[in-house]
Amino acid sequence: MKRMIVIAGHYGSGKTELAVSLALEMAKSPRREYERLAVVDLDVANPYFRSRERMDLLEANGVKLYADVYHSTGATAELPALTAALRAPLEDEGCQTIIDLGGNDAGARVLRQFGKYFEGNDHELWAVVNFRRYETRDIDSSREHVEAIQQELQIPVTGLVNNTHLLRETTAEIIREGHEKAEVLSKEMSIPLLFTCYPAGIIAPEAIADIAPLRPLGLYMRPAYLDK
């Protein structure tokens, strides 16, 4: 993986879950390439399920979180005010940085003010698709979504991530169905399908062993009260 990994996706795609899970996985890896790890929360469009909500968990595991100017998860978290400190991990060549963008192309627009950091070859842009969300319910709508992100950012998407799920109601068949659609989308857009995600603890990997590569995701962004 390159030093900067930008993760985009529609609301409910699971992009933030991927960002948090990936950061925690990297933090525990004995084969880390970079001395420091950071997550930059650039989701100023959606007030729910943002990576800043897991700041304590991330920083307890050695992952620095950068968010709004107030560095808050309280009332000030709703203000779309970004701090200049967000540039620090982008400029630090010893820091691998995961950037969690807002949903859809409008939410991704905020990245444009940091455009100079993405002129080289030191970054990847992943588009997360969930075929069980209405806005990306089929191949055509998912293609339009990915194209809109590329058009808005003027940065090519370098990889697709299939994260088709229904949270705790996810089944192996749902994941398999999403994977098949993602493969078609990948071929049509000539963008590699990087991996298919599955909710760890809900789906056993052996139930979808015919899919590769697979990446488990936690449910770090899922409040426990929603399952009561």
Could you tell me if 62 and 27 are in contact, meaning their C-beta atoms sit under 8 angstroms apart?
yes
pLDDT higher than threshold 60 for residue 178: yes
pLDDT band at 192 (very low <50, low <70, confident <90, very high): very high
Backbone angles phi, psi at 171, to 5 degrees: -120, 165
Contacts of 223 (CB under 8 A, 6+ apart): none
- As assigned by CATH, the class of the 4-222 domain is alpha beta
pLDDT band at 105 (very low <50, low <70, confident <90, very high): low
- Region 58-73: mean pLDDT is 78
- Region 49-78: mean pLDDT is 73
Every domain of the chain and the residues it spans? 4-222
Confidence (pLDDT) at 29: 92
Average pLDDT, the chain: 87
Q: What is the number of other CB atoms lying within 10 angstroms of the CB of residue 107?
A: 22
pTM: 0.88
DSSP state of 215: E
Show the tokens assigned to 84.
Answer: 């200049």
- Distance from C-alpha of 1 to C-alpha of 183, rounded to nearest angstrom: 21
Q: Write out pLDDT tens, residues 112-167.
A: 888 899 998 999 999 999 999 999 999 999 999 999 999 999 899 999 999 999 98
Confidence (pLDDT) at 101: 87
